[in-house]
Structure 1
């Protein structure tokens, strides 16, 4: 059996033939079994399939030699794999939170030729999964992970996307906030705010820019830094971020934060701040438009002269102990870390009292017994009405106090004033809400920790101020999706990331094109996607068929 060519009217034809003996003449003659058609119009793919089909009946070594001699590919060839689990999960959250629609709506009038929204998602996903430089994202997208509609990126495209992010930062933060508020029914009546720092690997500082020397929260006092502020809801979701020069003090940022939050036209909001923001000027700013606030104050008499004993009684009346070091109230939806005891999981103890938005009265006082004793020594005593010596038992009984109390703690002059202050305290805000609100400042501290150790906001290697601000915005978006995922599932981001890490997509070349097949999901992985209301990846992600070229 052989393939022969015949010529008819100047055109060559290919035929499959074999020789048979003529019964009459006894001479061999060719018998045509199949005609392939014109030589210049042969279906080469059909011929290759025929050769592979025939080669199946040959020994394995001869098959391999035949494939090598003819230079033919195997019918099924593995091309490699890409990580899919983390990017697919984050992309589902990205769409569910409305970030994609917000960016597409803002980009509609820009007419960019590059996929800016996809580029921004790639940088945000990189911060959440494997933080690296913008230059390293080129290799990360092309060789390591699968991102829908983004097979490859170039670093200059990333910088262009960062420029757009900064231009639309105000609108993006506002739209994302209201989308989250409507989607999850966020309680936005309480906003926690605090600042932290992020350093740079440079020598010196900029004479006029963001990279300046200042008080470092990272124990890097000799490195230039920036100050980052975050507004966090009581659920631990960061809803807004700010960036200031590294030498900016906490006392100088409250006005900008209050102005930006007022621009969102929220309803009644209680802003919770730590002791570092406490000043007369900041309290006046926070009291604007009748707003309320809770602000930390040192463990001594406040500026209004309210005795700390009255504040401590207001807290104990609400059922809270005076010592916070051994107790902790976790917010709803987030469980304490596994294996963490009540004392080890407790964040930094507040340095003093919390003050409500009233211009006259603090809300409560709290601290350890040692702090209370030291504070009691600093409280100026009111003049005793019993004289310089200890009063007698009869005098104390008549005045309604126990024998041996210190001077001034129960005198007829101080008791009515103390009761009036307690009543005014309770009328402002419930002491229980104030204590619980101030104790929830650990939410901001947790966000700061994840900002530095999960999305790796520092050290920074950007030089321009705009790129620095854009970098912080990318980290904020990554942290936003991480916190939403944690609240929805009750798991930490590290647990979720490790759970979906084995999910990858394998690329296989076949005779009919490329097949992208996803690793089968486990029951735990399916439960995670279901809890986050994210569609699971299909078993076959896509099938790429070759397109025929037409003349």
Structure 2
């Protein structure tokens, strides 16, 4: 294609010519466009010529005078859509809906709620109203969102099992460790029912009803399964039912359960042994026998691990449960850093103790928690500082005990596995803050249970993305990941009735996420 100037009647004309060969190979020329007299061109004529040349070249032509903005929409959710597909969640949702007479798409409804929960948590009504915020997402009815929660609640266990068994390669199926912990989720209510109940709140919301969750995660922090309990159940009493997740539903026969001291009771440890599971649990050193305590605090026998004042000692002993002896090991650790923290914590309590001793009525009005633990009642019924309690506390500064059934696993590996407890603690923190399980905008038991299934699915996708980024050497917090995906925007434009899309550059992390997921970015401008 080329430009040709011709003369006629004393004037010059511009033509756009296309050269080609015909079927016989003979060179030919074809006039594509007559651009008019050159001497008559004004600015608009030149613009018209430029637009026509772009059009003839196959490039996209845009007249800015006819360009109208319509909306700014998110396309970063496509990252989670890829994971949704890899976990075969659409198949799982379609399988559920195929057994019902429901007409709407369960997959579209649940996917949209999960995406909204991951990128900007809000109520289901707000989720419905924000559908236009995502490029190309399929619209659903508001009632479909609520109805989907019922179906999720009814199929909770089936969803967990299908995810686990269909994606064995995504999980570490040579699984040797499962982390378990319990937390609470409170409601802005005092109304009790079959699941909401008053209890010990880990959010310090003692005047509101709550539910209790027991959660298992794998060694990478991805959720395996969970159980909900009434709000007044004690941590230690959740374990038996939760273990059925591993034994009966996931067919995991041999695993080491790692947990905090909340589940460390003789009854729970016996159940773990009976089911064939091992355990690594935090232990209450102060509750051990005098002989064990003396041996633990004895300087001899410790192995130095670092120059930072960390060391450990192994004590073999027999734990008597229901009259039977069970071989166990105590891994006693000492840390200078922990000792400083213990001293600082006690000094803060002693400051409160000093204030309480000035107002004895406050001591009698409550239990002996906090600063009250260092106060005692004398024979003449006066409160005074309990120096013996302070000395006892000082004796254990810096010490920590881990109790385990694993006799062949090295102490360093035991410590490493126990250190992984931060993963489940972080899991609960993410669920409560980043994913905002609370506030819960539902009041019936089925809708509450459905809401938690939704949170489970969202948490699974978030953790998997975080894990894949980590494997690529990209350490990004859930907050940074969410901000990055929300930065991936497209401006929807209308040009003479035709839809155009202008990509807004995302933040630096967005390109790394796309690279890690092996996904291409949209063109800067596209139809």
TM-score, normalised with respect to structure 2: 0.66
Q: Does 1:366 align with 2:329?
A: no
Partner residue, 2:212: 227
Q: Which runs of 5+ in 1 are unaligned?
A: 1-55, 60-72, 329-352, 375-423, 544-551
Q: Does 1:431 align with 2:411?
A: yes
What is the CA RMSD across the aligned residues, in angstroms? 3.9
Partner residue, 1:536: 520
Shift of 1:457: 1.0
Partner residue, 1:104: 94
Q: How does 1:261-280 map to 2 (within 5 A)?
A: 261-263=246-248, 264-280=250-266
Q: Does 1:465 align with 2:416?
A: no
Q: Does 1:254 align with 2:218?
A: no
CA displacement 1:371-407 (0-9 Å, x = unmatched): 8999xxxxxxxxxxxxxxxxxxxxxxxxxxxxxxxxx
Shift of 1:173: 0.9
Shift of 1:510: 3.6
Q: Does 1:477 align with 2:457?
A: yes
Partner residue, 2:41: none
CA contact (8 A) 1:212 1:225 kept: yes
Shift of 1:221: 0.8
Q: Does 1:488 align with 2:468?
A: yes
Partner residue, 2:109: 119
Could you tell me how far apart the structure 1 residues matched to 2:522 and 2:201 are?
A: 48
Shift of 1:433: 2.2
Alignment CA distance shift 1:74-1:176 (3 Å)? same
Q: Which runs of 5+ in 2 are unaligned?
A: 1-43, 48-63, 312-316, 344-403, 470-474
Q: Does 1:285 align with 2:274?
A: no
Could you tell me how far apart the structure 1 residues matched to 2:299 and 2:107 are?
A: 51
Shift of 1:462: 1.1
CA displacement 1:137-163 (0-9 Å, x = unmatched): 111113x223x441x333211011111
Alignment CA distance shift 1:141-1:428 (3 Å)? same
Higher strand share: 2
Shift of 1:205: 2.8
Q: Choose 507-516 or 270-279, whichever is displaced more.
A: 507-516
Q: Choose 95-104 or 468-477, whichever is displaced more.
A: 95-104
Alignment CA distance shift 1:137-1:311 (3 Å)? same
SS in 2 for 1:181: coil
Q: Does 1:197 align with 2:164?
A: no
Aligned length: 393
Q: Does 1:81 align with 2:65?
A: no
CA displacement 1:256-310 (0-9 Å, x = unmatched): 011121021114200112111122221111112332112222013647x872465
CA displacement 1:474-507 (0-9 Å, x = unmatched): 1122122111212221211222222232322232
Shift of 1:428: 4.3
SS in 1 for 2:125: helix
Match of 1:178 among 158, 165, 171: 165
Could you tell me how far apart the structure 1 residues matched to 2:102 and 2:521 are?
A: 29
Could you tell me how far apart the structure 2 residues matched to 1:519 and 1:300 are?
A: 59
Could you tell me how far apart the structure 2 residues matched to 1:115 and 1:484 are?
A: 25
Match of 1:167 among 134, 142, 154: 154
Alignment CA distance shift 1:239-1:187 (3 Å)? same
CA contact (8 A) 1:312 1:322 kept: no
Q: How does 1:11-160 map to 2 (within 5 A)?
A: 75-85=66-76, 87-110=77-100, 112-142=102-132, 144-146=133-135, 148-150=136-138, 152-160=139-147
Alignment CA distance shift 1:356-1:104 (3 Å)? farther
Q: How does 1:502-521 map to 2 (within 5 A)?
A: 502-511=487-496, 513-519=498-504
Could you tell me how far apart the structure 2 residues matched to 1:356 and 1:318 are?
A: 28
CA displacement 1:304-344 (0-9 Å, x = unmatched): x8724656899976655799xx879xxxxxxxxxxxxxxxx
Could you tell me how far apart the structure 2 residues matched to 1:298 and 1:215 are?
A: 20
CA contact (8 A) 1:315 1:431 kept: no
SS in 2 for 1:113: coil
Shift of 1:230: 1.1
CA contact (8 A) 2:178 2:255 kept: yes
CA contact (8 A) 2:71 2:491 kept: yes
Could you tell me how far apart the structure 1 residues matched to 2:306 and 2:435 are?
A: 36
Could you tell me how far apart the structure 1 residues matched to 2:258 and 2:300 are?
A: 17
Could you tell me how far apart the structure 2 residues matched to 1:251 and 1:448 are?
A: 18
CA contact (8 A) 2:121 2:435 kept: yes
